């Protein structure tokens, strides 16, 4: 089969392209921005890429067009030509289910935060146990080196995004996956461009819960009242919770079971794992922070459901290398260390800073932020930014991509906040402020104009 993918350079659609190619299909695709690293990865797989959405691509005559959610009505001539001619098209998530996931034991990881890291952990635990899972995650786990793969294994790990499916299907992507094991990592308000409030997202999570079979398992964060509301709307599947509940779980949603999964920190790089109050073992690893301990508990619970003994899973986590762009060290110049992180939601910013603080103790942290996500560009969470950045000693924010008053929003931080409209000016301000022993934490869900290498070069100069 020949499939042509519209929006192929997004992380999710690029992963579908790789999986389709491994399944033996001919794969071509187009996007508005065809450039490295995704273009390089896809071309290395023998996938032909086309710049733009020109209607002339109809001449490729594929068997089906797979549509990414970057495609909208009236903006891409190719999509209009497909509709005008009545040609076959399908969304990425639906194609993935019908052609790959239908016959798999799907382990889906959903949540506002930690999906990519937890999916990477889970895939690695299954891999380390010899189960050879297929997977599709929103980043590159360093244990694997690629973001997606297809195998003969019955197990498939997928990062289950709540973002909408396509312009013609406004359900969340994860509704298509029909998991047997579903991780509900956490749930906060996000994606202000498509969801009016938290309740609307909770409804989508409830739709996901309704698809999990009775012989499956739901692994839920016990600290999240929002997830408890989701489960209370209807739950027909056993539930295991992780983290200490801050409320009394409903007895109809697995609330009467032991104490679930818990982590007890034993220093910054180790923690004990307890299940229903019984010690299972100690994880010793390179990751930092309470949020990663919670991610690990979710992965352990899901892997146990797939048949991996807890002791073996704990040992595997000791060999887990985090996903790229999660407190990833980018370089050190003149005693100044530069990190890259994907954090873009206030909660993720706060927890990432807390994790780095646990590592560096009293050293200065210079937080560098690009408010780039759709939610951030709308200014929906600007009031939460000052509190989320309190853990930094200095804050540098790029205001070139937003329409709201960034300096005004960060005013509660006083003199420790620096805002610039131009990237070069921001880099200069960071370079002038940084001194030996500092840790520069750059946070964005995009490329941030190549700031990492530019800053390292400026520091070296």
Residue 229, in any domain of the structure: yes
User: Both 307 and 333 in a single domain?
Assistant: no
Neighbours of 396 (CB within 10 A): 24
Q: What is the pLDDT of residues 221-246, one digit of tens each?
A: 999 999 999 999 999 999 999 997 65
Over range 122-137, report the average pLDDT. 97
User: Both 34 and 110 in a single domain?
Assistant: no
pLDDT exceeds cutoff 50 at 406: yes
User: Both 76 and 140 in a single domain?
Assistant: no
Residue 323, in any domain of the structure: no
Residue 290: CATH number of its domain: 3.40.1190.10
Single out the residue in 65, 92, 119 at which a domain terminates. Answer: 92
Please, what sign has the CA dihedral across residues 112, 117, 120, 121?
Answer: negative
User: Both 367 and 422 in a single domain?
Assistant: yes
User: Both 206 and 306 in a single domain?
Assistant: yes
Q: What is the pLDDT of residues 166-210, one digit of tens each?
A: 999 999 999 999 999 999 998 987 777 778 889 999 999 999 999
Q: What is the pLDDT of residues 262-272, one digit of tens each?
A: 999 998 889 99
State which residues form the domain around 265: 100-317
* Nearest by Cα to 82 from 55, 45, 116: 55
β-pairing, 26-31 with 48-51? parallel
Q: Residue 2 forms beta bridges with which residues? A: 26
- CA 233/CA 276 separation, integer angstroms: 25
Neighbours of 214 (CB within 10 A): 7
User: Both 359 and 435 in a single domain?
Assistant: yes
User: Both 306 and 338 in a single domain?
Assistant: no
Counting the structural domains of the chain, the total is 3
User: Both 347 and 456 in a single domain?
Assistant: yes
DSSP class of residue 130 equals T
- CA 124/CA 191 separation, integer angstroms: 29
Residue 347, in any domain of the structure: yes
Neighbours of 307 (CB within 10 A): 11
User: Both 309 and 342 in a single domain?
Assistant: no
CB 189 within 8 A of CB 377: no
Residue 57: CATH number of its domain: 3.40.50.720
User: Both 268 and 242 in a single domain?
Assistant: yes
Residue 245, in any domain of the structure: yes
Residue 272, in any domain of the structure: yes
Q: Can you give the length of the chain in residues?
A: 461
pLDDT exceeds cutoff 90 at 366: yes
Single out the residue in 291, 317, 343 at which a domain terminates. Answer: 317
The set of residues, in sequence order, having a beta carbon less than 8 Å from that of 412 and lying 6+ positions away, is 386
What is the residue-averaged pLDDT of the chain?
A: 90
Q: What is the pLDDT of residues 46-98, one digit of tens each?
A: 899 999 999 999 999 999 999 999 999 999 999 999 999 999 999 999 999 99
List the 48-51 sheet strands across, edge first. 48-51, 26-31, 2-6, 64-67, 89-91
H and E: helices and strands count for the chain? 15, 23
CB 240 within 8 A of CB 218: yes
Residue 360 pLDDT grade (very low, low, confident, very high; cuts 50, 70, 90): confident
- CA 206/CA 50 separation, integer angstroms: 38
Residue 88, in any domain of the structure: yes
pTM over 0.95: no
CB 382 within 8 A of CB 411: no
User: Both 74 and 54 in a single domain?
Assistant: yes
Single out the residue in 35, 58, 92 at which a domain terminates. Answer: 92
pLDDT value, residue 246: 53
User: Both 139 and 218 in a single domain?
Assistant: yes
């Amino acid at each position: 089969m020949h499939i042509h993918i519209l929006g192929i350079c997004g992380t999710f659609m690029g992963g579908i392209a790789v999986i389709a190619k491994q399944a033996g299909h001919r794969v071509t695709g187009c996007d508005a921005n065809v450039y490295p690293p995704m273009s390089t990865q896809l071309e290395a797989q023998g996938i032909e890429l086309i710049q733009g959405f020109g209607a002339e691509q109809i001449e490729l005559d594929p068997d089906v067009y797979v549509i990414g959610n970057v495609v909208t009505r009236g903006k891409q001539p190719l999509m209009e030509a497909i509709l005008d001619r009545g040609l076959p098209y399908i969304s990425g998530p639906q194609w993935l289910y019908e052609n790959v996931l239908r016959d798999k034991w799907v382990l889906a990881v959903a949540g506002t935060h930690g999906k990519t890291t937890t999916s990477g952990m889970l895939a690695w635990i299954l891999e380390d146990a010899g189960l050879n899972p297929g997977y599709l995650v929103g980043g590159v786990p360093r244990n694997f080196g690629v973001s997606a793969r297809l195998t003969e294994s019955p197990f498939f790990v997928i990062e289950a995004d709540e973002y909408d499916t396509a312009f013609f299907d406004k359900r969340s992507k994860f509704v298509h996956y029909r998991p047997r094991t579903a991780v509900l990592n956490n749930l906060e308000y996000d994606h202000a461009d498509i969801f009016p409030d938290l309740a609307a997202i909770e409804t989508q999570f409830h739709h996901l819960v309704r698809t999990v079979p009775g012989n499956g398992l739901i692994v839920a964060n016990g600290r999240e009242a929002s997830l408890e509301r989701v489960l209370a709307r209807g739950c027909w599947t056993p539930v295991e919770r992780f983290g200490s509940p801050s409320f009394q779980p409903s007895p109809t949603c697995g609330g009467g079971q032991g104490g679930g999964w818990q982590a007890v920190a034993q220093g910054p790089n180790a923690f004990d794992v307890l299940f229903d109050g019984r010690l299972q073992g100690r994880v010793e690893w390179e990751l930092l922070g309470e949020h990663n301990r919670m991610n690990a508990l979710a992965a352990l619970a899901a892997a146990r459901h797939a048949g991996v003994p807890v002791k073996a899973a704990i040992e595997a986590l000791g060999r887990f290398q985090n996903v790229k762009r999660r407190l990833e060290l980018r370089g050190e110049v003149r005693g100044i260390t530069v990190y890259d992180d994907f954090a873009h939601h206030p909660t993720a910013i706060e927890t990432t800073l807390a994790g780095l603080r646990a590592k560096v103790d009293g050293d200065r942290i210079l937080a560098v932020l690009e408010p780039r996500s759709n939610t951030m560009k709308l200014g929906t969470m600007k009031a939460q930014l000052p509190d989320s950045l309190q853990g930094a000693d200095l804050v540098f924010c790029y205001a070139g991509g937003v329409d709201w008053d960034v300096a005004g929003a960060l005013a509660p931080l006083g003199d420790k906040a620096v805002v610039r409209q131009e990237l070069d000016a921001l880099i200069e301000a960071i370079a002038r402020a940084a001194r030996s022993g500092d840790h520069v934490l750059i946070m964005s869900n995009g490329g941030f104009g190549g700031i990492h290498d530019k800053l390292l070069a400026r520091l070296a100069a």
